[in-house]
A and B are shown apart, each in its own frame.
Chain A
Amino acid sequence: MNAYEKVQAARSSSRPSGKFYIEHLTDSFIELHGDRRFADDPAIIGGIGMIDNIPVTLIAMERGDKIDERISRSFGCPKPEGYRKALRLMKQAEKFKRPVICFIGSSGANCGIGAEERGQGEAIAENLMEMMTLKTPIVSVVIGEGGSGGALALSVADKLVMLENSVYSVISPEGCASILWKDAKKADEAAEALKLTADYLKEQGIADVIIEESGKTNEEICNNLKITIMNIIKENMKLPEKELLTNRYNKYRDII
């Protein structure tokens, strides 16, 4: 697949969304709602559950399946209240010393009048700052499209895992093509130029692990993902708090 085909695969509605991974990683998920400030954003699902007898906090972008659900979930594009809900649950995880697992898969942060009125930029910025010093392990997984700042706000983590056919980019290829070349149809060229594929990002040290997808069922992929996530979490739970945070800080500090 070329870069733009990967973008399309990452966006495909036949691809499992956040809900699928939560349901398959834990059978004890309890969803928790709301940011305690303004509203509950259905574009983000958050809650707690057990994996391998370890309590964890799970946070996922959720695009929904049928069209009605997709609309009510804003196609998985979180509003400020979604990011604030995520942060609330992360702080709760820190208090109870639970690791945090985030799933990323949507075109990005919600784009709308309400989102701007309620400070989309501030909500993302606060997550970036707070996640950097959250005193509990964080693993983020890009399961589909990782879209810009809206994806970053859930992916400041100790380790970034990407599925083989997921992508992660500073801007959508269509957005890039229309800004630079005034032609959204050149999205395939933009996708190539942006170098947004999992293998390139792994090569550059942005992604830490890639989960293979080719020739595997969704269940097999999910099982492998679970092993990877839990290995990372168990390793990181052993670290003294200071070392955990220093490692996380340096992971980003070293990106030039």
Chain B
Amino acid sequence: MLNKIKNIFKGSTDKMKLCKKCGKEFSVKELEQSYMICPECGTYLRMNADERLDFITDKGSFKEIDMDMQSKNRLEFPGYNEKLAKALETNDKKEAVTCGICKIGGVKTAIFVMDSTFMMGSMGSVVGEKITRLFELAIERELPVVGFTTSGGARMQEGIFSLMQMAKVSGVVKKHSDAGLLYITVLTDPTTGGVTASFAMEGDIIIAEPNALVGFAGARVIEQTTGEKLPEGFQRSEFLLKHGFVDIIEERSKLKDCIVSLLKIHS
């Protein structure tokens, strides 16, 4: 019964989405037609894991793995239990990354999608473990990996254990790479901190959505620490492309075709 109420509640809030840039609200149905791009001002609205998977994977092909893995408050960090409970209550997913095997343009692929609606996509032990297991599965089955990143960085409530996930995932990415397998990352808004400083930047091919915020240190922190005025477009996809850290900036409407072409060349 409780579940039913929760679902109805979710359904009603999911029907409309707000564009934070222009302040206009649109129905999800309308936004699905426009690839979740604001019809009014062209802003790329953030997609949750399910929306992203629907949009990228071939219909009915996605099989999720490790969907029930949940975080624990190992450090007994004050307030973390409450934050996790709230994230679980307002989200269909149990963590900030969803992993599985799918087909993209007919090519069998391992995929992970981070979700900024779950604790800002922050990476704790479960996020690190799920991505590691996905890469292990991809190595075993000789599959390419496509990963969509969006994250505030390492999850500080898990202390050093979240930091260590950066090393752990980097280790398995290297193994996958040494096995001659393809890894494509798609940087979406926002990708920052420890995720940028690990698997987001480790792809053989790095794609970014237009105008996505991608960086290591937070812009406000940089401004406060250095007193320097940040240049126009700082830490946006176009800035990274110009400085040589992104291969391709692709519009959302052409993103799937772009990924399919890359997968087919490597398959």
Contacts and interface: CB of A to CB of B under 8 A. Distances in A.
Interface in B24-69: none
Contacts of B202: 125-126, 129
Interface stretch (B7-15, B71-79, B253-261): B71-79
Contacts of A171: 154, 156
A242 B226 CA distance: 45
Contact of A252 (B158, B168, B178, B243): B168
Contacts of B222: 111-113, 116
Nearest to B226: A112
Contacts of B245: 119, 121-122
B159 A196 contact: yes
A179 interface: yes
B232 to A, nearest CB: 12
B10 to A, nearest CB: 27
B140 interface: no
Interface stretch (B88-96, B99-107, B108-116, B169-177): B169-177
A256 interface: yes
A180 B129 CA distance: 25
Interface residues of A, number: 46
A249 B173 CA distance: 12
A166 interface: no
A152 interface: yes
Interface string A221-256: 000000000000000000000000000010011011
B16 interface: no
A42 to B, nearest CB: 17
Given A179-B156, A194-B159, A111 B226 contact: yes
A176 B201 contact: no
Interface string B144-159: 0000000000101011
Identify whether the interface residues of B are mostly helix, strand, loop, or mixed.
helix
B18 interface: no
B217 interface: yes
Contact of B171 (A118, A121, A170, A252): A252
A253 B168 contact: yes
Interface string A172-184: 0001100110000
Chain A interface helix/strand/loop/mixed = helix
Contacts of A204: 160-161
Nearest to A168: B160
B175, B197, B202 — most chain A CB neighbours (10 Å): B197
A218 to B, nearest CB: 26
Contact of A256 (B79, B125, B156): B125
A51 interface: no
B131 to A, nearest CB: 12
Given A149-B193, A179-B156, A253-B132, A121 B168 contact: no
A252 B128 CA distance: 11
A56 B230 CA distance: 41
Interface of B: 75, 77-79, 125, 129, 132, 154, 156, 158-168, 170-175, 177-178, 193-194, 196-202, 214-217, 221-222, 225-226, 228, 230-231, 234-235, 239, 243-245
18 contacts: A116-B216, A116-B217, A119-B243, A121-B201, A122-B245, A124-B198, A125-B196, A128-B198, A129-B170, A132-B167, A169-B159, A180-B79, A180-B156, A193-B77, A194-B77, A249-B175, A252-B164, A255-B165
Given A118-B243, A125-B202, A129-B174, 15 more contacts: A109-B216, A113-B228, A116-B234, A117-B239, A117-B243, A121-B245, A124-B198, A125-B196, A129-B202, A152-B163, A168-B160, A193-B77, A194-B159, A196-B159, A256-B129
Top 4 nearest A-B pairs (CB, nearest first) are: A121-B196, A128-B170, A124-B197, A121-B216
